[in-house]
Amino acid sequence: MEIRKLRLGNLLLPSNVLMAPLAGYTCYPFRMLAYELGAGLCFTEMASANALKYEDKATKRLLFTTKAEPIRAVQLLGGTPAVMEQMAKSTRLEDFDIIDINMGCPVPNVFKSGEGSALMLDQKRAFAIIQGCKKSGKIITVKCRTGIREDAMFTAEFARMCEAAGADLISIHGRSRSMMYDGKPYLEEIAHAKAAVKIPVIANGGIFSAHDAHEMMDRTGADGVMLARYGLENPFLFSELTKKPCHKTPLQILNEQLALTLQYYDETFALRYMKKLASHMMKKRKGTKKFKERLFQCGSEAELIDVINMIFGETETVESYDRFL
């Protein structure tokens, strides 16, 4: 696996190791952490174009960013070409360099509304959405799956459509919509898509170690990899893959995340986010299961800090972190 910078339109990503947009997790503080550890690109949580159109307050919070964020990328969900184009060109997204179009979400209510992975069944509408968003003048990327069902995948065909419509990059989750988040990814489908287009293709799905990331790149020929759930469990994987030095302990990382979250969000949001992040990072760590219930019962910043210190109160840095996993 070759870790390298990646050209995307007029931007040069510092690495080809990306962090996937994850609802409830990839808020501004986590994106800044991922960038610090070597990620080349991070996306906001999925934001609904319809909700954005009606100025939904919760959606506005999803889009929080500052000039300190190295590269700003928003993921937009929607199924109506006119609305997607309108929002892509609107001042609501003026702070973002990149718009990623969600064409892969498998969740039933999203699929039934004709959004997310449902767009893979309507390539004419998907084409119109990409083409419309491209009129914003921003870099446009697409996140999709290998198809709808395991027995009928069409990844290469869909990738060609995305390229023809003007997409600058495609990230492919190696599972079909019917597989949701389980099962072994179909790496050959990603390889077929890579061979079918000239734009960069990023491979996603089933990466739970550096070995998995290397195998993904080697077997697909992809231009980069995208971490998802394991990026939460072990964010140090960004550093391991990119060789960007990090000498902080998990405890230091979490304390810094808490401070940054409280700087820009209210305490309710900060507690909710930090409990989820700490819960992921404590997975497979010996002797910490007994603290999980106490973690989620924390009702204040002080209580949370106490429990995090109980769980992560050691001196190990990234070099020895793997022994806990």
Which pair of tokens denotes residue 315?
Answer: 């001196």
From the CB of residue 64, how many other CB atoms can be counted at a distance below 10 Å? 14
DSSP letters spanning 1-32: -----EEETTEEES-SEEE---TTT-SHHHHH
Whether 70 is in a domain gets the answer yes
Question: In this structure, what are the phi and psi dihedrals at residue 277, rounded to the nearest 5 degrees?
Answer: -65, -45
- Continuous H helices in 143-183: 155-165
Domain boundary pick from 201, 223, 242: 242
| Euclidean distance between CA atoms 62 and 145, whole angstroms | 23
Claim to verify: residue 128 and residue 195 sit in the same structural domain: yes
Claim to verify: residue 262 and residue 237 sit in the same structural domain: no
Claim to verify: residue 169 and residue 278 sit in the same structural domain: no
| Euclidean distance between CA atoms 172 and 285, whole angstroms | 31
Predicted local confidence at residue 286, as pLDDT:
81
Claim to verify: residue 238 and residue 254 sit in the same structural domain: no
Q: What is the pLDDT of residues 177-209, one digit of tens each?
A: 999 999 999 999 999 999 999 999 999 999 999
CA neighbor of 144 nearest in space, from 166, 176, 168? 176
Claim to verify: residue 210 and residue 292 sit in the same structural domain: no
Question: Is 105 one of the annotated active-site residues of the chain?
Answer: yes
The domain total for the chain is 2
Claim to verify: residue 20 and residue 119 sit in the same structural domain: yes
Please give the angle made by the CA atoms of 296, 300 and 303, to the nearest 5 degrees.
70
Out of 105, 133, 144, 162, which one is annotated catalytic?
A: 105
Residue 135's contacts (CB-CB under 8 Å, 6 or more residues apart) are: 85, 88, 89
Whether 220 is in a domain gets the answer yes
Whether 32 is in a domain gets the answer yes
The total number of residues shown for the chain amounts to 325
| Euclidean distance between CA atoms 44 and 52, whole angstroms | 14
Q: Work out the angle between the directed axes of helices 28-36 and 250-264 (0-180°, nearest 10).
A: 140
Domain boundary pick from 242, 267, 290: 242
Amino acid identity of residue 196, one-letter, is A
Question: Which regions of the chain does DSSP assign to beta strands (E)?
Answer: 6-8, 11-13, 17-19, 41-48, 73-77, 98-103, 139-144, 147-149, 152-153, 169-173, 201-204, 224-227
Predicted local confidence at residue 285, as pLDDT:
83
CATH number at residue 207: 3.20.20.70
From the CB of residue 317, how many other CB atoms can be counted at a distance below 10 Å? 15
Structural domain for 192, as ranges: 6-242
Residue with token string 């990072």: 281
Claim to verify: residue 72 and residue 143 sit in the same structural domain: yes
Residues of the chain with pLDDT below 70 are 1, 314-325
Domain boundary pick from 184, 215, 242: 242
Element housing 194 (H / E)? helix 187-196
Which pair of tokens denotes residue 14?
Answer: 């510092």
Please give the angle made by the CA atoms of 134, 42 and 146, to the nearest 5 degrees.
70
What pTM value is reported for the model?
0.93
Predicted local confidence at residue 314, as pLDDT:
64
Residue with token string 């949580």: 45
Element housing 213 (H / E)? helix 210-220
Q: Work out the angle between the directed axes of helices 123-134 and 155-165 (0-180°, nearest 10).
A: 30
